[in-house]
C-alpha cells in the first residue's frame, strides 16, 4: 500500500551521521515506493538563537545535503516550510486544541529549555504543534524520524484525534517509521545521543574529511568494563550495521567469542563511513556549482506543496466554522 510520507529537518548547520542514519537514508529509500514530502523547517529553527544573515545559507546547505544524499525532486516534493504559510495557519488552529499539560511533558522542550536558559520562548514550547501542522497539512500517515522525534509524532496523533472528534474526521493518525539506527550516540560520550549542540567531538558531520572521520572514530570511547553492553561498542556496531550488515555480523561473532580487537573494529567502521560518504560528498560538491537549479527545485516544491496545503485549509476552515 502506498503511504503518504512527511518528514523534515531544521536548517541549523552541518548534518551528522545520526541525522543521516536515523532519517535521511530511509527517506531516500522510501521515495521509490511511496508519495513523499520532505521539508526544510526554517520556522522551527527560529526557536533557538540564530543569525538571520546566515539563515539563507543554512537553508541552501540543507537542500544540498538532501539532494546529495539522493532525494529526487522527480519523485518527492522538496520545499521550505516558510514558503507555504498554511503551516503556521494550521499551527494556530491546533494551538487552540492542545492542552498545556501535554506540551509540558515533551522531553525535547525540557532539554532545550535547560540548554537555552536565556531564551525559553513560547515558540520553543509550542514547537511540537507546528510540527503536527507540518505533518497533518498533507494528511501524511507515516513520519520517518529518529527516536528523539517519536514523542512529537505521538502528539501529532493526539492532535489529529482531538481535531477529528471535535470537528469531524479530517486527519489520519500518523505513525513514526524508525530504522535500526534510530538513536546514534556521540562517539566521545556514548551515553548521549549524537548531536551538534554537544560540540565538535560529539558528532561526525556528513561533510567531514576522511582524516577527521578516522580521528573521531579512533578516539571513540569503547569502555570495555561493561563487556558486550558497553554503549560505545554498541554504537560502533549500530553504525557499521547501518552501512554494512555482513561486516557487522562478523565482528559481532568475534565480540561474542572474545577475540575482537577494538582497533580493528574502529578501522573498519571508519573506512566504511568514509567509503559511503565519498559519493555523497562528491555529489554535494557538484551541486554547489548549481545553486540556482537548487533554488528552482525548492520553488517548484513549494508550489506543489501549497496546492495540497490550500485544499486541506479550505476543508479545515469550513469545519472550524470560520468560512
Distance between CA atoms of 208 and 226, rounded to whole angstroms? 30
From 75, 139, 162, 196, active-site residue: 196
Distance between CA atoms of 117 and 290, rounded to whole angstroms? 40
> Is residue 87 within the footprint of ligand TYM (CB under 6 A)?
no
5, 22, 241, 312: which one binds ligand TYM (CB under 6 A): 22
- Nearest 5°: the CA angle 64, 183, 230 is 130
Total number of residues that touch ligand TYM (CB under 6 A): 26
Question: Which residue lies nearer to ligand TYM by CB, 260 or 298?
Answer: 298
DSSP string of 63-100, one letter each residue: HHHHHHHT--TTTEEEEEGGG-THHHHHHHHHHTTS-H
> Is residue 6 within the footprint of ligand TYM (CB under 6 A)?
yes
Question: Which residue lies nearer to ligand TYM by CB, 82 or 250?
Answer: 82
189 within 8 A of 220, measured Cβ to Cβ = no
Find the distance separating the first CA and the last CA of the chain, reported in whole Å. 35
With both helix axes pointing from N to C terminus, report the angle between 291-320 and 262-288 in degrees, rounded to the nearest 10.
Answer: 90
34, 44, 266, 284: which one binds ligand TYM (CB under 6 A): 44
Q: How far is the CB of 110 from ligand TYM (least distance, A)?
A: 14
162, 183, 218, 319: which one binds ligand TYM (CB under 6 A): 183
> Is residue 73 within the footprint of ligand TYM (CB under 6 A)?
no
Q: How far is the CB of 229 from ligand TYM (least distance, A)?
A: 19
> Is residue 134 within the footprint of ligand TYM (CB under 6 A)?
yes
309 Cβ neighbours under 8 A, 6+ residues apart? 84, 86, 87, 137, 138
> Is residue 3 within the footprint of ligand TYM (CB under 6 A)?
no
37, 63, 84, 194: which one binds ligand TYM (CB under 6 A): 194
Distance between CA atoms of 9 and 19, rounded to whole angstroms? 8
What cell does 128 get?
Answer: 511540537
In the numeric block, the cell 539506527 is attached to 181
21 within 8 A of 239, measured Cβ to Cβ = yes
> Is residue 131 within the footprint of ligand TYM (CB under 6 A)?
yes
Contact mark string toward ligand TYM, 266..305, x via CB under 6 A: ----------------------------------------
Distance between CA atoms of 307 and 86, rounded to whole angstroms? 10
Residue range at the interface with ligand TYM (CB under 6 A); choices 15-23, 26-34, 115-123, 285-293 = 15-23
> Is residue 182 within the footprint of ligand TYM (CB under 6 A)?
yes
What would you report as the CA-atom Rg of the chain, rounded to the nearest whole angstrom? 21
Q: Any catalytic annotation for residue 112?
A: yes
Q: Any catalytic annotation for residue 193?
A: yes
Neighbours of 127 (CB within 10 A): 24
3, 5, 7, 59: which one binds ligand TYM (CB under 6 A): 7
Report H helices in 116-203: 122-136, 150-167
Q: Any catalytic annotation for residue 196?
A: yes
Q: How far is the CB of 258 from ligand TYM (least distance, A)?
A: 29
Site residues for ligand TYM, window 143-162 (CB under 6 A)? 143, 145-146, 148-149, 152
- Give the residue numbers annotated as catalytic, written as ranges: 112, 193, 196
Site for ligand TYM, rule CB under 6 A: 6-10, 18-19, 22-23, 41, 44, 131, 134-135, 143, 145-146, 148-149, 152, 182-184, 193-195
Amino acid at each position: 500500500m502506498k503511504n503518504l510520507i512527511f518528514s523534515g529537518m531544521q536548517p541549523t548547520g552541518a548534518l551528522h551521521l545520526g541525522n543521516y542514519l536515523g532519517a535521511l537514508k530511509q527517506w531516500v529509500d522510501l521515495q521509490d515506493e511511496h508519495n513523499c514530502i520532505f521539508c526544510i523547517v526554517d520556522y522551527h529553527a527560529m526557536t533557538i538563537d540564530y543569525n538571520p544573515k546566515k539563515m539563507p545559507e543554512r537553508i541552501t546547505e540543507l537542500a544540498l545535503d538532501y539532494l546529495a544524499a539522493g532525494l529526487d525532486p522527480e519523485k518527492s516534493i522538496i520545499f521550505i516550510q516558510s514558503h507555504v504559510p498554511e503551516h503556521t495557519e494550521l499551527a494556530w488552529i491546533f494551538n487552540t486544541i492542545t492542552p498545556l499539560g501535554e506540551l509540558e511533558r515533551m522531553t525535547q522542550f525540557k532539554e532545550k529549555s535547560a540548554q537555552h536558559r536565556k531564551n525559553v520562548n513560547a515558540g520553543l514550547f509550542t514547537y511540537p504543534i507546528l510540527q503536527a501542522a507540518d505533518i497533518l497539512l498533507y494528511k501524511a500517515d507515516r513520519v520517518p524520524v529518529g527516536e528523539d522525534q517519536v514523542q512529537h509524532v505521538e502528539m501529532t496523533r493526539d492532535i489529529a484525534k482531538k481535531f477529528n472528534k471535535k470537528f469531524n474526521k479530517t486527519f489520519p493518525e500518523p505513525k513514526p517509521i524508525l530504522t535500526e539506527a534510530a538513536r546514534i550516540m556521540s562517539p566521545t560520550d556514548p551515553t548521549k545521543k549524537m548531536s551538534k549542540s554537544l560540540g565538535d567531538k560529539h558528532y561526525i558531520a556528513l561533510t567531514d574529511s576522511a582524516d577527521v572521520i578516522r580521528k573521531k572514530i579512533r578516539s571513540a570511547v569503547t569502555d570495555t568494563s561493561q563487556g558486550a553492553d558497553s554503549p560505545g561498542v554498541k554504537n560502533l556496531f549500530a553504525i557499521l550495521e547501518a552501512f554494512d550488515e555482513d561486516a557487522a555480523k562478523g565482528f559481532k561473532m568475534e565480540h561474542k567469542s572474545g577475540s575482537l580487537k577494538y582497533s580493528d573494529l574502529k578501522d573498519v567502521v571508519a573506512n566504511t563511513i568514509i567509503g559511503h560518504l565519498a559519493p555523497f560528498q562528491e555529489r554535494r560538491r557538484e551541486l554547489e556549482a548549481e545553486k540556482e537549479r537548487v533554488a528552482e527545485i525548492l520553488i517548484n516544491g513549494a508550489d506543489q506543496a501549497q496546492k495540497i496545503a490550500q485544499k486541506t485549509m479550505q476543508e479545515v476552515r469550513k469545519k472550524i466554522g470560520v468560512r
